[in-house]
A and B are shown apart, each in its own frame.
Chain A
Amino acid sequence: MKRLICVLLLGLLILPSASAGAMGEYTLSPFAFDTEAMLTLAFGDQAADAQLNDRDYPFYDLPNSSGAPFCGQNDTMGFQQMKLTVYTALVSTEQYEPFIPENIEPSGVAKCALTPQQALADAEAWLAELGVTDYALQSVTAYGRVSKLPGGYLLAFGQTLDGVPVYWAASTHPEETYSPAAAAQPNRIKVVVGDNGLILITGWWNAFTPTKQDAAVISEEEAIAAFADMGEDAASAELCYLLAGTQDAPVALPAYRSQNRFISAEDGAVLQ
């Protein structure tokens, strides 16, 4: 019995470090979304007709058309980010307005046949088709409160790495930004869907290449103590990756977060 308890206790001790052992350090590169899936989502049965538009990055639309549907993957925005844009024909034919406060349904249920559960299932299926697997659902916004506007859902997904969220450092997002390329965009994908199907998918995403694996990380308790040393009264600390570095060579560093402060998950050093 004593031996069993010892084994269990040992197991409990090993668990945090086993979880931590999955952390590492990474360089970033633009994520390559599945092009065929992107074309199918944007153009449906007209996917074969889609043509490359004359841009610095792959951008597709239909011959002799202006406006939606179109789609593209833009890796020219900096910070090794890939911007995905999928606008279906519904963008032109539906009055979707999930970004207007007056049109938000606070109940979380939109006035449409589609349920939030089905909207989520659909969105996750589309993400899978695009090759997106490392994510966490951030929010589901129901819209269509204005009587003349149709209802639907906006679902936001944040990128994860090794099962934990990624956050861009404040230094990658200067306050006075005149050029969109000068600021990293949040690694999140928004999917807007209504009764008639997918309306649009937009977002920024990275691919990660490990440069250091199996980094040992401090415990959450140690992280809380480190935050306390910084004067931050943290009740909890979230294990995550901080995306820092330069516009050309960003890196992902294992970190703990308390509010908007970050410390290294390896040694507790202040990162932000």
Chain B
Amino acid sequence: MRKWFPMLLVLALPLTGAAAQANEVVALPTVAPLQQVEVSTAVDYTSASLAEYYTPGGTECAVDEQMPRMSAEESERAAALLQDYQAGERPAENVLNKLENAVVGVYTLNPEDYEGETLYTLLPVTPLTDEQILEVIDAFAQCGQTFDPDTLSYRNCMRGGGIEASRFLQEEERERMNTLTDLYIRQGFVSETAYTPLISDDGLGMVTLDPDSYCGMEDYHFFPCRRMTDDELLRFVIYTETGDPTEYGNYAAYEKRLRLELSRLMGAPLVMTRQYEGMSEMGDFSVKYGDETVYYASFQTLDGVQYGGYLDVETDRVVSANLYLPYTLQYSDLYLDPFDGQWLAVAQEAVSQLRGDGMEIRAVESRGETDVQDAGYGVMVDVIMEDGSYYNVQIAYQTGAVCGWITYDTHTLDPDQLYAMMYE
């Protein structure tokens, strides 16, 4: 019987292949491990999670100017302006369902998607003018409602960029969006229904904001108070994805190349989960670089170490990379000499351990004292390789060991450019 068993297995292999073909299973064009979707049971699709954020005195609460309400003075004016409106005064602009560059906006909602709310109001961080209050009154009136500032709350209002969406996205939704982003970019999956920014048609929506009125925030998202379907999330992913679709077909090859280079340059393991990816000009990330077109991606290992890299798609070379070693250090008040030779030895050893191709180190130089976030101070050391590329290594005084970021770069900042940035 034992002799027959392996033979049966061998015979069975083509059968599984045939079954796979019949089901049109296509291998993923990527070397990345498939992402595991972990569905958490602790989900809350309601707007209740915002309540804590808007509770005064909470650990992380909105400032007064960003509370979802009108001030007492604005409310008083609103009462008078309501009378003016009823007497026939009208605003110059209609802000009902204003989707672009909104300073003030009022949006119609499907009550079944928004816990019974029918209108949502966006207000700027700045004090409201009479005209802006009139715009709100007018939008409410168009929907057959009389505006009452006392009814504003986090369930139906956001002010001044206090928060970026009508409810918090849940972790399971983020996980699904990651998978859907992969399916869209790598597999070409699309939704049959296009995303529309208007909220009332399907419950999802997006408004672009006037950043000056919302403390720099550029977009506001409407997420219905229910579990969003995969298709809804896919529509949202496609609408908000900023990458160049003509490059999507190359992502798998770029990622493979980047992973291999991160292994050679930064000692990255093969088993890492990709966290995000995209394409851009390198100069958008660092003033050391110009208009090189790069594919960038970030990865995380099972033990929380993060790797990132930027692949110049023209030269097929990694121009910049980084490694983040997580640390849990307390603040330390210790200050040592950043030019002591011991730091050079620590940095050199660290780079020698990372580097997979044995390239010679040309020089090691201290760059002086540095602030180690939340952990006091330390030293920055440059380790310069034979080819002129270099690593920047951060060492904490308190442990004498590398912690936090190690970066790799192939370009240095031109001193004249640095001077011009500072003084010209």
The reply to whether A173 and B333 form a contact with Cβ atoms under 8 Å apart is yes
Q: Interface digits, A168-198 against B, CB 8 Å rule (1 contact, 0 not)?
A: 1110010100000000101010000000000
Q: Interface digits, B399-424 against A, CB 8 Å rule (1 contact, 0 not)?
A: 11000000000001101101100110
Tell yes or no: B239 within 8 A of A by CB. Answer: no
Tell yes or no: A36 within 8 A of B by CB. Answer: no
- Considering only residues 235-251 of chain A, those with a C-beta below 8 Å from chain B are 243
Tell yes or no: B336 within 8 A of A by CB. Answer: yes
| CB neighbours of B338 from chain A (8 A) | 139, 141
The reply to whether A146 and B415 form a contact with Cβ atoms under 8 Å apart is yes
The reply to whether A170 and B380 form a contact with Cβ atoms under 8 Å apart is no
- Could you tell me the distance between the alpha carbons of A147 and B418 in the complex, rounded to whole angstroms? 10
How far is the CB of A178 from the nearest CB of chain B, in Å?
11
The reply to whether A106 and B339 form a contact with Cβ atoms under 8 Å apart is yes
How far is the CB of B397 from the nearest CB of chain A, in Å?
9
Binds A, one of B66-74, B200-208, B220-228, B324-332: B324-332
Binds A, one of B5-13, B134-142, B363-371: B363-371
Q: Nearest chain-B residue to A166 (Cβ)?
A: B333
| CB neighbours of B335 from chain A (8 A) | 138-139, 156, 158, 186, 188
Tell yes or no: B398 within 8 A of A by CB. Answer: yes
Given contacts A108-B339, A139-B369, A175-B374, contact A146 B418 (CB under 8 A): yes
Binds B, one of A13-21, A55-63, A94-102, A122-130: A94-102
| CB neighbours of B271 from chain A (8 A) | none
The reply to whether A104 and B333 form a contact with Cβ atoms under 8 Å apart is no
- Could you tell me the distance between the alpha carbons of A18 and B370 in the complex, rounded to whole angstroms? 38
Tell yes or no: B247 within 8 A of A by CB. Answer: no
How far is the CB of B208 from the nearest CB of chain A, in Å?
30
Tell yes or no: A87 within 8 A of B by CB. Answer: no
Q: Which of B333, B365, B368, B419 contacts A168 (CB 8 A)?
A: B333
The reply to whether A175 and B331 form a contact with Cβ atoms under 8 Å apart is yes
Q: Nearest chain-B residue to A146 (Cβ)?
A: B415
Q: Nearest chain-A residue to B375 (Cβ)?
A: A260
Tell yes or no: A52 within 8 A of B by CB. Answer: no
Q: Interface digits, A140-178 against B, CB 8 Å rule (1 contact, 0 not)?
A: 110001111100000010100000000111100101000
- Could you tell me the distance between the alpha carbons of A200 and B388 in the complex, rounded to whole angstroms? 36
- Could you tell me the distance between the alpha carbons of A167 and B368 in the complex, rounded to whole angstroms? 21
Tell yes or no: B345 within 8 A of A by CB. Answer: no
Given contacts A148-B415, A259-B398, contact A141 B369 (CB under 8 A): yes
Q: Nearest chain-B residue to A148 (Cβ)?
A: B419
| CB neighbours of A139 from chain B (8 A) | 335-339, 369
The reply to whether A167 and B422 form a contact with Cβ atoms under 8 Å apart is no
The reply to whether B331 and A173 form a contact with Cβ atoms under 8 Å apart is yes
Given contacts A95-B423, A139-B335, contact A102 B399 (CB under 8 A): no
Q: Nearest chain-A residue to B370 (Cβ)?
A: A101
The reply to whether A104 and B368 form a contact with Cβ atoms under 8 Å apart is yes
The reply to whether A97 and B422 form a contact with Cβ atoms under 8 Å apart is yes
- Could you tell me the distance between the alpha carbons of A175 and B332 in the complex, rounded to whole angstroms? 11
How far is the CB of A107 from the nearest CB of chain B, in Å?
9
Tell yes or no: B48 within 8 A of A by CB. Answer: no
Tell yes or no: B334 within 8 A of A by CB. Answer: yes
- Considering only residues 310-343 of chain B, those with a C-beta below 8 Å from chain A are 329-339
The number of inter-chain residue pairs (CB within 8 angstroms) is: 82
The reply to whether B366 and A259 form a contact with Cβ atoms under 8 Å apart is no
Q: Nearest chain-A residue to B373 (Cβ)?
A: A175
Given contacts A170-B331, A186-B333, contact A101 B367 (CB under 8 A): yes
How far is the CB of B83 from the nearest CB of chain A, in Å?
42
- Could you tell me the distance between the alpha carbons of A100 and B333 in the complex, rounded to whole angstroms? 22
Given contacts A138-B335, A173-B331, A260-B334, contact A102 B415 (CB under 8 A): yes
Q: Nearest chain-B residue to A143 (Cβ)?
A: B368
Q: Nearest chain-B residue to A174 (Cβ)?
A: B331
Given contacts A104-B367, A141-B369, contact A167 B380 (CB under 8 A): no
The reply to whether A138 and B337 form a contact with Cβ atoms under 8 Å apart is yes
- Could you tell me the distance between the alpha carbons of A147 and B368 in the complex, rounded to whole angstroms? 18
Q: Interface digits, A234-272 against B, CB 8 Å rule (1 contact, 0 not)?
A: 000000000100000000000001011000000000001
| CB neighbours of B418 from chain A (8 A) | 100, 102-103, 146
The reply to whether B330 and A170 form a contact with Cβ atoms under 8 Å apart is yes
- Could you tell me the distance between the alpha carbons of A267 and B62 in the complex, rounded to whole angstroms? 47
The reply to whether A145 and B333 form a contact with Cβ atoms under 8 Å apart is no
| CB neighbours of A141 from chain B (8 A) | 338-339, 368-369
Given contacts A170-B331, A175-B331, A260-B398, contact A145 B415 (CB under 8 A): yes
- Could you tell me the distance between the alpha carbons of A102 and B416 in the complex, rounded to whole angstroms? 11
- Could you tell me the distance between the alpha carbons of A148 and B418 in the complex, rounded to whole angstroms? 10
- Could you tell me the distance between the alpha carbons of A48 and B370 in the complex, rounded to whole angstroms? 39
Given contacts A97-B422, A146-B419, contact A106 B365 (CB under 8 A): yes
The reply to whether A167 and B333 form a contact with Cβ atoms under 8 Å apart is yes
The reply to whether A260 and B330 form a contact with Cβ atoms under 8 Å apart is yes
The reply to whether B336 and A170 form a contact with Cβ atoms under 8 Å apart is no
- Could you tell me the distance between the alpha carbons of A139 and B368 in the complex, rounded to whole angstroms? 9
| CB neighbours of A108 from chain B (8 A) | 339
How far is the CB of A7 from the nearest CB of chain B, in Å?
39
- Could you tell me the distance between the alpha carbons of A259 and B337 in the complex, rounded to whole angstroms? 15
How far is the CB of B118 from the nearest CB of chain A, in Å?
38
Tell me which of B335, B376, B400, B412 has the highest count of chain A C-beta atoms within 10 A of its own C-beta.
B335
How far is the CB of A197 from the nearest CB of chain B, in Å?
22
| CB neighbours of A259 from chain B (8 A) | 332, 398-400
| CB neighbours of A272 from chain B (8 A) | 330
How far is the CB of B388 from the nearest CB of chain A, in Å?
16
- Could you tell me the distance between the alpha carbons of A253 and B330 in the complex, rounded to whole angstroms? 19
| CB neighbours of A101 from chain B (8 A) | 367-368, 370, 380
Q: Nearest chain-B residue to A170 (Cβ)?
A: B330
| CB neighbours of B380 from chain A (8 A) | 101
Given contacts A95-B423, A146-B418, A147-B415, contact A260 B368 (CB under 8 A): no
7 intermolecular pairs with C-beta atoms under 8 Å apart = A97-B422, A102-B418, A138-B336, A145-B415, A156-B335, A259-B398, A260-B399
Given A146-B415, A156-B335, A186-B335: 4 more A-B contacts, CB < 8 Å: A102-B418, A104-B366, A148-B415, A175-B374
**Shortest 9 CB-CB contacts between residues of A and residues of B:** A106-B365, A170-B330, A101-B367, A173-B331, A167-B333, A260-B398, A146-B415, A260-B332, A168-B333
